[in-house]
A = this chain, B = another copy of it.
Amino acid sequence: MTLPVPADAPDPDDVGLRERKKRARRALLVDTAQRLVADHGLDAVTVELIGAEAGVSTRTFFNYFESKDDAVLGVEDSGIDPAVAQAFSAGGPSGLLLTDLQVLVAALLQRFAANRERTVRALRLMEAEPRLLQRHLVWMDRHKSELHALFDGRRPVAPFSADNELLTMLVLTLVRTAITAWERSGYHGDVDAHLSEAVAQLIHVVASDIAPSGVGPSDATSAERFHA
């Protein structure tokens, strides 16, 4: 008996005509939506209009996106890079929780900004249309269980006391801070640069409370709070 290929091989790089058309259409819809919204504002642009402009029925639009806002943001449901996820769950790569969280977030941002132009356009629209910002948080919510699984995987290997919820929010904090900083820089360079800055700021906020007056490393307050 020859090894049968699993009935539904989920080949990610399926380059059948079907898949190609689907991707092209999706991209077209995102571009169309972004252009229209940039010109006329989020509320003035109806799904019907986007569809018409892209030569697609309204109903089909909703086969591609869960909502109008999703289309405008061009949400791609890319999970976390499996390699990075694996490393994190195994207690790596550095063994230091915050440091490894940073790596995780870097991987997230990597995928998030996969298509730089589209991402920048989406972020610009987010500045103008605060309602879209909220979708950004929803996006995090979708990955919540994925993140929780990672935290639960790592806990036995490299124990830590923080709740999943706190770590998830911390991830979100880093993502948003990095992105905001990137925005402010006029989208110069890479997002990652701003991520390090975000982590540094976080450390600084906490550290300045632990060791206040710049007293230095031997301040007892640190130990007190740390081991309290």
Taking A96-B209, A97-B209, A217-B222 as contacts, is the C-beta distance between A198 and B137 under 8 angstroms?
A: no
Chain B residues within 8 Å of A202, by CB: 162, 166, 170, 206
Complex CA–CA separation, A166 to B204 (angstroms): 11
User: Is B176 a contact of A200 with CB atoms below 8 Å?
Assistant: no
Q: Which residue of the partner chain B has the closest CB to A134?
A: B138
Q: What 1/0 flags go to A57-95 for Cβ under 8 Å of B?
A: 000000000000000000000000000000000000001
Complex CA–CA separation, A164 to B138 (angstroms): 21
Chain B residues within 8 Å of A163, by CB: 177, 180-181, 201
A contact set with B: CB distance below 8 Å: 95-99, 130, 133-134, 137-138, 141, 160-163, 165-167, 169-170, 172-173, 176-177, 180-181, 198, 200-212, 216-223, 225-226, 228
A sample of 21 cross-chain residue pairs with beta-carbon separation below 8 angstroms, ordered by A number, consists of A96-B212, A97-B205, A97-B209, A130-B141, A134-B134, A134-B138, A162-B201, A165-B177, A166-B177, A166-B202, A166-B205, A169-B169, A170-B173, A202-B206, A203-B209, A216-B223, A217-B217, A217-B218, A217-B222, A217-B226, A222-B222
